[in-house]
Structure 1
Amino acid sequence: MSKVLSYRPDIDTLRAVAVLSVVVFHIEKNWLPGGFLGVDIFFVISGFLITMIIHREMSSGIFSFKKFYIRRIKRILPAFFTVLTVTLVCGFLLFTKDDFFLLWRTALSTLGFISNIFFAKGQGYFDPIQEEKPLLHIWSLSVEEQYYFVFPILLLLVVRKSWRTQFAFLITLCVFSILASFMPTALDKYYLPHLRACEMLIGSLTAVWMQYRQQQGLDTGKPYAAAGALLSICVLFACLFAYT
């Protein structure tokens, strides 16, 4: 994480809840029926954190695509390659030849961060057979990286323009993403990056709004943080436990 963004234990806690809810959901769906929504929560958090960093850097004229992607590489690839290597070794030892071949094809798609497209061509995310695919959950990482291949370029086009233009631009992108979900497609929509973009854009829009409030010397909502956090927790747990 960039030094321009101070550590946020509240966001880290929310991120932990998001990850653990997905894990619990895949252990036993009845324990946490809405646990898969942790992915959506994580996307919003990711959009918020990354946009806070790159928006400040772009506004200050110190943003560098090279440095941005180097940070992403250092943050993502060590854990990514560890998981990939361990999974392939275990698959080689435990899987049948055909199952390992499928695992190998999946691994190749993850290397190009297109595993979400690979899975979108097959069964749906909630199909029972998907539970037999060890690298299934890397699809969300692919969506994130696809977003960050494109979004910094788009943000750079408007970051020096008026705040109204920036807000209008991000809201328009979000609306387009939502409208795209109503268009027919042969692929499973659950995995598609342009449909998931609205979630990360909500985080990005929140980050830009906070930047605007701070630059204008306006209150960023700290007096209402406790009440907002309590309300958010109630809504979050209602969605996770009461989803049907």
Structure 2
Amino acid sequence: MKYRTDIDGLRALAVVSVILFHLGFLPNGYLGVDVFFVISGYLITSIVYRESEQDKFSITHFYMRRIRRIIPLVLFITAVAFVLGLWLMLPDDFENLCQAIVASNVSANNVLMYITSSDYWAVKNDYKPLMHTWSLGIEEQFYLLYPFLFYFFKGSKVHRVKYILIGLTALSLGAFLLQDNVAAKFYFIQYRFFELAIGGLGAIMFRDALIKNYRTGRFLLYALLAMIAVILYFPIIPSNDIKVLLTTLLTVGLLIVGKEYFDKDAFYEGLMANPVARYIGMISYSLYMWHQLIFAFARYAFLDEITPEWGIALSALTFVLSIATYYGIENVFRQRRVMSTRTVLFATATAFVVTTAGAFYVYTLGGVVKDYPELGLTRADVANDRNFFSGSSNIHIRYNEQVRQLDRGFDDLSKINTLVLGNSFGRDAANILLESAVADQLEVRYFEIGRAMEDDSLAIRMQQADKIFIGAQGPLSKDWFAELEQRYNFQIDRDKIWVIGTKDFGFSNGINYNRIDATTDFTTYRTRMEEHATERNDALKAEWQDRYIDLIELLGDGRGDILVFTPEGKFLSQDTEHLTKYGAQYIAKRLDSRLARIVES
């Protein structure tokens, strides 16, 4: 099997696109991952199909090649992420990173990302150092099942594999097109299988030249390459499904046609197999593994924005480290004459146990591995406080979650019945009231808004309530109340309703944590809010007018920046969205006079 130098160039195009996407400079660059999927399916199938034809295919050898190729670098990168997280991260973020380390090590970060960060394009994912290993999860899950096709159908039976692949590809593609859950079809193998399998079908079904006429084939070759470049570099197609399908089909087409031209056509060779493109393609796996880790920690620790200048500097660092791991890890583990199978298995097993066990242990601690005075957390206070699977007892959300205990009816007629409606942001609103100077006058009750249209006890509580507070990032509109009244056939007294407004503390607390020192003036230190925060706040204020309690006006400077800490240096929010106890106390103190007037009215 002749080495395809042009595939290195295609890998280079894919990895550079992904890098530019994660720098924030190329909206469609994430499609480079789809290119990688097709290449993987094409190359793996090319190898194992020939081995199966000759009755030489071995599942043991297959998995050993995959272990040598993939696992050592994954374990090294997760170990580096762990050390950097230990040094730079706040406990909640470090806890999340440790989850990702365990998931990446067991080839399941795609599943974790689906559960915790369903929107791949969300800005907050830019701060996750291992976010990108979701694609490795899909590839490794593919490799877990794929070789059994060739094990059961080898020798004279191997031709049957293509029919099975056609059927599985059709099922996967159909599922992809019919699935409405965007996150599910982005992260799960059943909706991505067709991309790898189409690459495999291309390798099996087009082993001979597709087009005999040289000029016609050459025209098709450049047309395919041009269309791939257009899709990657120009956001002209709005539908992600269409972009994925086109990228998949064009890539396999280029692999099939390019086989006839990579060593015959000088111009194509100059484009796809020049020394620079080939070298980038050779180290593309290291580039892929390093880039997001570097960019995420840079954003987390010291960069408000990755400018073009910083993009160049961080990319240069990525290249330097990638060259080091290509020669120091990839090449070393891949070559049998350099490292024996026994040594590879021992080294990877040891690294797996150490990194996975270490990350899981820190996860059970909630990431609290030292004292964090800015959050009021000390290692001694949580010494025996274990966290498992981030339930409501998780140390970082416990303060917010405890409000759920107030989700019941009123029973103290001597106090002002106060109902808070909302979700986790409603629980923030309840904590503000509970920390306020008027708390002793109130009987605060909470209602989880998600069940409003199914639980008629809400109507009873709203009628019993003297005051109703709404708390959410997007407080409920007046139209929602009209729908609720119609649903339960009752009238809501609008004079009882107040809205505790939206809030936003930027994209990440990490940069604030790493910037402050003994000289920081916490009364003036601010961070930039997300762009939509002010617009959302203004829209809600316009709708609710004097019934709106504007937290952004209270904490902001009117120019898009907002306070991060209390005057004593305590974080107002532990995750840039929800309040710490210090945050609720500080806001309550600032609102005391207004809350007193509301209670008296």
Q: TM-score, normalised by structure 1?
A: 0.87
Tell me which of 227, 240, 244 is aligned to 2:232. Answer: 240
Match of 2:9 in 1: 13
Which structure has more strand as a fraction of its residues? Answer: 2
Q: Is 1:51 the equivalent of 2:35?
A: no
Contact 1:120-1:189 within 8 A present in 2 as well: no
Q: Is 1:154 the equivalent of 2:149?
A: yes
Q: Give the Cα–Cα distance (whole angstroms) in 1 for the partners of residues 181 and 120 of structure 2.
A: 16
Q: Give the Cα–Cα distance (whole angstroms) in 2 for the partners of residues 36 and 60 of structure 1.
A: 38
Give the superposition deviation at 1:210: 3.2
Question: What letter matches 1:9 in structure 2?
Answer: T
Q: Is 1:120 the equivalent of 2:114?
A: yes
Q: Give the Cα–Cα distance (whole angstroms) in 1 for the partners of residues 185 and 124 of structure 2.
A: 18
Give the superposition deviation at 1:90: 0.7
How has the CA–CA distance of structure 1 residues 162 and 92 changed in structure 2, closer, same or farther, with 3 Å as cutoff?
closer
Gapped runs of 5+ residues in structure 2? 239-601
Contact 1:34-1:240 within 8 A present in 2 as well: yes
Q: Give the Cα–Cα distance (whole angstroms) in 1 for the partners of residues 92 and 120 of structure 2.
A: 21
Give the superposition deviation at 1:155: 3.6
Contact 1:121-1:187 within 8 A present in 2 as well: no
Contact 1:121-1:188 within 8 A present in 2 as well: no
Match of 1:138 in 2: 133
Q: Give the Cα–Cα distance (whole angstroms) in 1 for the partners of residues 106 and 158 of structure 2.
A: 36
Contact 1:40-1:199 within 8 A present in 2 as well: yes
Q: Give the Cα–Cα distance (whole angstroms) in 2 for the partners of residues 128 and 114 of structure 1.
A: 22
Gapped runs of 5+ residues in structure 1? 214-218
Contact 1:120-1:187 within 8 A present in 2 as well: yes
Give the superposition deviation at 1:79: 1.6
Which structure has more helix as a fraction of its residues? Answer: 1
Q: Give the Cα–Cα distance (whole angstroms) in 1 for the partners of residues 226 and 219 of structure 2.
A: 11
Question: What letter matches 1:148 in structure 2?
Answer: Y
Contact 1:37-1:240 within 8 A present in 2 as well: yes
Q: Give the Cα–Cα distance (whole angstroms) in 1 for the partners of residues 158 and 77 of structure 2.
A: 43
How has the CA–CA distance of structure 1 residues 179 and 192 changed in structure 2, closer, same or farther, with 3 Å as cutoff?
same
**Secondary structure of 2:146's aligned partner:** helix
Match of 1:200 in 2: 196
Match of 1:216 in 2: none
Count residues with an aligned counterpart.
231
Give the superposition deviation at 1:185: 5.5
How has the CA–CA distance of structure 1 residues 220 and 183 changed in structure 2, closer, same or farther, with 3 Å as cutoff?
closer
Tell me which of 122, 126, 129 is aligned to 2:124. Answer: 129
Give the superposition deviation at 1:221: 4.5
Tell me which of 169, 174, 181 is aligned to 2:164. Answer: 169
How has the CA–CA distance of structure 1 residues 239 and 98 changed in structure 2, closer, same or farther, with 3 Å as cutoff?
same
Question: What letter matches 1:201 in structure 2?
Answer: A
Give the superposition deviation at 1:209: 1.3
Give the superposition deviation at 1:167: 3.2
Question: What letter matches 1:236 in structure 2?
Answer: I
Question: What letter matches 1:118 in structure 2?
Answer: L
Give the superposition deviation at 1:91: 0.9
Structural RMSD (CA): 2.0
Give the superposition deviation at 1:158: 4.0
> Alpha-carbon deviations, 1:86-111, whole Å to 9, x = none?
11111110000111111001100111
Give the superposition deviation at 1:178: 1.2
Q: Is 1:75 the equivalent of 2:69?
A: yes
Give the superposition deviation at 1:77: 1.9
**Secondary structure of 2:116's aligned partner:** coil
> Alpha-carbon deviations, 1:182-210, whole Å to 9, x = none?
24559632111111111001100001113
Contact 2:37-2:195 within 8 A present in 1 as well: yes
Match of 2:173 in 1: 178
Question: What letter matches 1:153 in structure 2?
Answer: F
Question: What letter matches 2:79 in structure 1?
Answer: T
Q: TM-score, normalised by structure 2?
A: 0.37
Q: Give the Cα–Cα distance (whole angstroms) in 1 for the partners of residues 162 and 37 of structure 2.
A: 19
Contact 1:15-1:42 within 8 A present in 2 as well: yes
> Alpha-carbon deviations, 1:51-86, whole Å to 9, x = none?
001111111111111111111111112221221111
Match of 1:26 in 2: 22
How has the CA–CA distance of structure 1 residues 141 and 183 changed in structure 2, closer, same or farther, with 3 Å as cutoff?
same
Question: What letter matches 2:172 in structure 1?
Answer: S
**Secondary structure of 1:121's aligned partner:** helix
**Secondary structure of 2:96's aligned partner:** helix
Return 180-189 or 8-17, whichever deviates more.
180-189
